[in-house]
Amino acid sequence: MVVLIVERAKPGLRGELSRWMIEPRAGVFVGRISALVRDCLWEKVCREVGDGGAIMIYGAQTEQGFAIQTFGETRREIVDYEGLFLVRRRLDG
């Protein structure tokens, strides 16, 4: 399963994503797509999200059972702790 969350994305991009996945909340996309389609969609998102942000989470053979990819600037950042993905909330300023 793939979960893709876009922030501040244009309606065109969201419309295109909803061809492949459902959008249960604004900007949140969920679906079961192949690795090839997933990677193509991710490239598209990175190209077209502009100054917005995106995060993608999908099942993978890791200890946590999933992998994470992020794009763009957000206050929360994904940190890789020796193979363990944790979320860091950055200090203001």
Partner 1 sequence: MDNLRSLPKFRDGLSYLYLEHCRIDQCDKSVSFHDKDGETPVPAASVAVLMLGPGTSITQAAIRALADNNTLVIWCGEENVRFYAWGTGGTRSARAILEQARLASDDQLRLQVVHRMYRMRFDERLDADMDIQQLRGKEGMRVRAAYRRASAESGVPWSGRNYDRGSWSAADPVNRALSAANSCLYGLCHAAILSSGFSPALGFIHTGKQLSFVYDIADLYKAEITIPVAFQAAKDGPADIERRVRLACRDLFRETQLLKRIIPDIFAALGLRELADEEDPYAEDAAKPADLWDPTGGDGEGLSDRLI
Name the residues that contact partner 1, by CB under 8 A: 61-64, 77, 79, 81-84, 86-91
3-state secondary structure of 68: strand
Q: Give the residue with the Cβ less far from partner 1, 51 or 82.
A: 82
List all residues 6 or more positions away from 72 whose beta carbon is below 8 Å from its beta carbon.
7, 49, 51, 52, 53, 54
Cα 3 to chain centroid distance, Å, stands at 7
**Smallest distance, partner 1 to C-beta of residue 29, A:** 24
Q: Give the residue with the Cβ less far from partner 1, 36 or 91.
A: 91
Contact by Cβ (8 Å): 4, 54: yes
**Smallest distance, partner 1 to C-beta of residue 82, A:** 5
**Smallest distance, partner 1 to C-beta of residue 93, A:** 11
Q: Give the residue with the Cβ less far from partner 1, 32 or 88.
A: 88
Contact by Cβ (8 Å): 49, 13: yes
